[in-house]
Amino acid sequence: MNILLLGSGGREHALAWKIKQSKKLNKLYIAPGNAGTALCGTNVSIDLNDFEKIKSFVLEENISMLIVGPETPLVEGIHDFFLADKTIQHIPVIGPQKAGAMLEGSKDFSKKFMLKHGIPTAAYKTFTKSQLRDGVVFINSLEPPYVLKADGLAAGKGVIITENQGEAVQILNYMLADAMFGEASSKVVIEEYLNGIELSVFVATDGNSYKILPVAKDYKRIGEGDSGPNTGGMGSVSHVPFADKAFMQKVEQKIVIPTINGLKNDGIPYKGFIFIGLMNVKGEPYVIEYNARLGDPETETVIPRIKSDIIDLFEGIANGNLAEKEIVFDERTAVCVMLVANGYPEAYEKGKLIKNLDNVTDSIVFHAGTKTDTNGNIITNGGRVIAITSFGNTIEEAKTISLKNAEIIDFEGKYYRKDIGKDLVI
Ligand code: AMP
Ligand code: GLY
């Protein structure tokens, strides 16, 4: 079959890499893609939010499945757009409709959903501009640290955590009164701080049954020892030793099953992936957030651990027979180390030549922010540039291989964390 994959990051390269291995694939197109996805299929220059153009392309190239990588087109309703159009409604879309994508698109919606279905999460209250005073009173009633979340999509920057009560009040003001994140902060969720270790659980669902993919942990802070500002993710590890059988049983019973049943009971169709960001608080899982897509850079360790055909999994999601599908996982551990540009996550330069990609051995290289210039050179084109994934029998083993190649691949201003997974090694 011919597949169109939307997105341009490391997640999409990992998906494209895996899709390319399927016997069921005829042609793979990636829009807009990066220099790495171009090695797995054909990049096409289409804006992710130009649904009309996506439709024309799908019809012209006889596409029989659309896979959506990032959240924005989902929250903007690309799946609904396909269903509403007679010429393309038969083409399955992997990724939820708008109603399901609201789990990510609105923190207030997702908190209400969790509360309604008894899914463990931090206690919270939501405030609008007219309730600013009540918000301040609420902050004053809480113990620090204070967690403030813009309701809508804010490119991963909408969560602010501070120890300082005055600062929390000021941020609430910025968000509500000064539209710090535009429309996204017209509502603000203020919630209880959860103290624990985070992990990411990806669930594939056809809206009825589900499969839990290998668990991963990502490393969000720029600096070693989890210091400095948040980034899109500096690396990931899968599996996660503390997510043992007993813990995962709790995750499944208390979170995954109530989530799938909650969607069903609320009449929200869902075909795609639910990314559950969890906090392990003294052995009990709590939901930090839902995302309506796979995570990045978790995908770069989770997808390589799937041994079976990924198109078979997508077909299960699309056709509603996911329960019949057997998914086989690699028992080894995968570690991904992300090479980022100098200055990231603040302002950074692009256009730096990436060298020595061909000298990599024993790792899988996924491109994130890269492109091919007019001379055919691969250059940097984003803050997160290259994800290096390796396997090992232990985190240490896998990490050592990724770090070896992190030394080899080079570009001006290259930076990476050397401690990915270190906190998980006992
Ligand atoms: P989110 O955008 O919801 O993933 O939040 C960004 C990050 O903020 C999360 O990955 C957590 O590290 C942190 N965070 C969010 N909510 C809480 C909370 N209630 N308690 C502690 N940390 C949180
Ligand atoms: N790794 C976190 C995310 O994709 O949002």
Give the model confidence (pLDDT) of 219-250 as tens digits.
999 999 999 988 999 999 999 999 999 999 99
**Residue with CA nearest ligand 1 atom 12:** 198
Expressed in angstroms and rounded, the spacing between residue 366 Cα and the centre of ligand 2 is: 16
Position 93 in a domain: yes
pLDDT of residue 304: 98
pLDDT of residue 174: 85
What contacts 174, CB < 8 A, 6 or more positions away? Answer: 180, 185
**Residue with CA nearest ligand 2 atom 3:** 295
Position 141 in a domain: yes
User: Is the beta carbon of 252 within 6 A of some atom in ligand 1?
Assistant: no
Expressed in angstroms and rounded, the spacing between residue 253 Cα and the centre of ligand 2 is: 24
**Residue with CA nearest ligand 1 atom 11:** 288
Q: Which of 46, 62, 97 is the last residue of a domain?
A: 97
Q: Which of 157, 191, 225 is the last residue of a domain?
A: 191
pLDDT of residue 40: 98
Ligand 2 atom with the smallest distance to the CA of 11 is 4
pLDDT of residue 157: 80
For residues 260 and 206, give the distance between their C-alpha atoms in angstroms, rounded to a whole number.
10
> Going edge to edge, which strands form the sheet with 384-392?
217-218, 235-238, 333-340, 384-392, 364-367
**Contact between residue 78 and residue 68 where contact means Cβ atoms under 8 Å apart:** yes
User: Is the beta carbon of 289 within 6 A of some atom in ligand 1?
Assistant: yes
Q: Do 207 and 184 belong to one domain?
A: no
Ligand 1 atom with the smallest distance to the CA of 149 is 3
pLDDT of residue 179: 85
Least Cα distance to 162 among 182, 190, 183 occurs for 190
Q: Do 314 and 212 belong to one domain?
A: yes
User: Is the beta carbon of 144 within 6 A of some atom in ligand 1?
Assistant: no
Host domain of residue 413: 333-424
For residues 237 and 384, give the distance between their C-alpha atoms in angstroms, rounded to a whole number.
17
Counting ligands in written order, which one lies closest to the CA of residue 219? 2
pLDDT of residue 105: 92
Expressed in angstroms and rounded, the spacing between residue 298 Cα and the centre of ligand 2 is: 7
Q: Do 316 and 255 belong to one domain?
A: yes
Q: Do 339 and 226 belong to one domain?
A: no
CATH number at residue 16: 3.40.50.20
Expressed in angstroms and rounded, the spacing between residue 156 Cα and the centre of ligand 1 is: 10
pLDDT of residue 156: 73
pLDDT of residue 425: 87
Position 245 in a domain: yes
Position 293 in a domain: yes
Q: Do 299 and 389 belong to one domain?
A: no
Q: Which of 294, 324, 354 is the last residue of a domain?
A: 324
Q: Do 146 and 168 belong to one domain?
A: yes
Pairing of strands 93-94, 65-68: parallel
Position 110 in a domain: no
Query: Which residue positions in the chain have pLDDT lower than 50?
Result: none
The 10 Å Cβ neighbour count of residue 127 is 24
CATH number at residue 236: 3.30.470.20
CATH number at residue 158: 3.30.1490.20
Counting ligands in written order, which one lies closest to the CA of residue 70? 2
User: Is the beta carbon of 295 within 6 A of some atom in ligand 2?
Assistant: yes
Q: How many domains does the chain have?
A: 4
Whose structure tokens read 């299960």?
316
User: Is the beta carbon of 218 within 6 A of some atom in ligand 2?
Assistant: yes
**Residue with CA nearest ligand 1 atom 7:** 159
Sign of CA dihedral 147, 148, 153, 155: negative
Whose structure tokens read 């270190």?
422
Q: Do 222 and 310 belong to one domain?
A: yes
**Contact between residue 232 and residue 345 where contact means Cβ atoms under 8 Å apart:** yes
Q: Do 293 and 209 belong to one domain?
A: yes
Ligand 2 atom with the smallest distance to the CA of 220 is 1
Top mutation candidate among 289, 290, 293 for ligand 1, by most atoms within 8 Å of CB: 289
Least Cα distance to 54 among 37, 26, 32 occurs for 32
**Residue with CA nearest ligand 1 atom 14:** 288
Position 363 in a domain: yes
Position 44 in a domain: yes
Q: Do 128 and 160 belong to one domain?
A: yes
Q: Do 309 and 220 belong to one domain?
A: yes
Counting ligands in written order, which one lies closest to the CA of residue 301? 2
Q: Do 203 and 318 belong to one domain?
A: yes
Q: Do 310 and 356 belong to one domain?
A: no
User: Is the beta carbon of 71 within 6 A of some atom in ligand 2?
Assistant: no
Sign of CA dihedral 60, 66, 69, 75: positive
User: Is the beta carbon of 315 within 6 A of some atom in ligand 1?
Assistant: no
Position 358 in a domain: yes
Angle at 328 between CA 324 and CA 330, to 5 degrees: 165
Counting ligands in written order, which one lies closest to the CA of residue 159? 1
Q: Say what the alpha-carbon torsion angle 15, 250, 208, 5 is, to the nearest 10 degrees.
A: -10
pLDDT of residue 389: 98
In the chain, the amino acid numbered 117 is H
